[in-house]
Each structure stands twice: as C-alpha cells, then as structure tokens.
Amino acid sequence: MTGLLDGKVAIVTGAGQGVGEGIARALAQAGATVVIAARRAENGEPAAEAIRARSQKASFVCCDVTSESDVAAAIDHAVSQHGRLDIVVHNAVSPPGPPAPIQDVDPAIIEAQIATSTGAAFLLAREAYPYLAANHGSFLLLTSPAGIEGSGNLPVYATVKAAQRGLLKSLAREWGPDGIRVNALAPVAWTPALLTATEANPTLLTRLEARTSLGHIGDPETDIGPVAVFLASDMARHMTGQTLAVDGGRYLGL
C-alpha cells in the first residue's frame, strides 16, 4: 500500500497506543504525514518518534478530545505545520469500565464515554470540515460491532458506538456534495487493555479466538491499519456512510 497516501496529511486521535497507533503507522507507511493526537505525551511522542525512525513523517500534539480548545489546537497544528488536512481518524475512547447492567454503571463512566466517543466526534467534524472540504478528504470513525448488535454487558459502550454510526451516516449525506467521505471501522484487535485482560484471565483468549471465524485476534498495524488506509485513499473514492467490521469474522451481521 506504499504510496497510496503520498502528499496527504492525517490526524489520528488516541494514537499513542493500541489500534490508534497501528492505524497511524499504517497511514505513514502508505505515505501520509501523520499527526499523533493523544492526551499523554509519554505515549504520543514515542509513537511519533517510532514512525520517524522508519524514515516516515509524524508529529505529536497533546490533545484531550473532550476539550473544544484542544481539538481546535490539534487541527490547527496539522494545518500550520503541514499545510493541509486530508484525513481525520477518531479512535480515542474512554475506558468502558467493568461489565455491568445499566443500573450499576457509574454515571462518571457514562459521561466520559459520551464525551470521548460521541461528543469528540462532533468537535472534530466541526473543526476539520473546511480543510476536508478543500481537499475532498476522508473522515473515519472507529466504532465497534457492539454498536451494531448491542451488548448485554457493556450497554453504555454499545450505545455511544451506535451513536457514532448515526453521526457518520448523517455526515455522509451532509458532506457528500463537498466530496468528503465518511466511514467507520469496527475492529477487534490487540490493545493494551485486551492484553491485560487475557493475562489476568488465561481462558479469555481461547474463548475470544473460538468466536472468531479466522481463529485469531487482529494486529492493529497489519490487520486493521491497511483497511484504514483503503478507506482514506482514492481506492475508496465511491464509498461513504459505511461501516466495515474488521474482526476476523467475529461479527457477521452486515
């Protein structure tokens, strides 16, 4: 996929680790200049440096996606430092907390998930729109199969991920005449949280793999990243308003 995104500038939220970092690496491998937007410099700066160490282009900007001023500053950083903005990937997510019925979910967890997954998507869309319109860009949301089929264990997480899909379909209709494409990825891949969970519960990995048609959990860079590159590239120029489940066949309902 080298060269598919030559000359493009991308910003990826929550890219200091996990799926966001994998997508950022894949975009850079495809030729994009990548802005790593993360809350913590101790994660974000090393992620950017790792990309630069491969002779690819990346910078870091500190960004709490629930802050309107931080989001505006991150978009401004991308444009002022690199001259344009073509791709926005919203991956940042708030921890969903332990599985629990809705009446037992901490209200603080509800507020944080709404702000990080849904509210931040609105902020990013509003700030990025003029730059994406100028370049016929791509806006990509990281959602989840839980947002399609629901979840009896993580009802708030499933709800905010479903709300993201409502937003992407609305934006796809609104922004289509401007040449902006809006799509989503619903991945299942290794993240620090999943690694911690499988280490604490040795049977969890076996159960997860048994529910996945391909029999393994995805790698953020080599399994999820290329699909993000495809959606951000001109190869997907006639595709908008869609959600791709990139989960090894765990969810087959689309």
In one letter, which amino acid is 83? G
Using DSSP, state whether 50 is helix, strand or coil: helix
**3-class DSSP string for 147-181:** HHHCCCCCHHHHHHHHHHHHHHHHHHHHHHHHCCE
Active site residue 157: yes
Whether the Cβ atoms of residue 237 and residue 5 lie closer than 8 Å to each other: no
- Which of 129, 131, 157, 251 is catalytic? The answer is 157
Burial class (CB in 10 A: 0-12, 13-18, 19+), 63: buried
DSSP H or E run through 34: strand 33-38
Burial class (CB in 10 A: 0-12, 13-18, 19+), 192: exposed
Instruction: List residues with catalytic annotation.
Output: 157
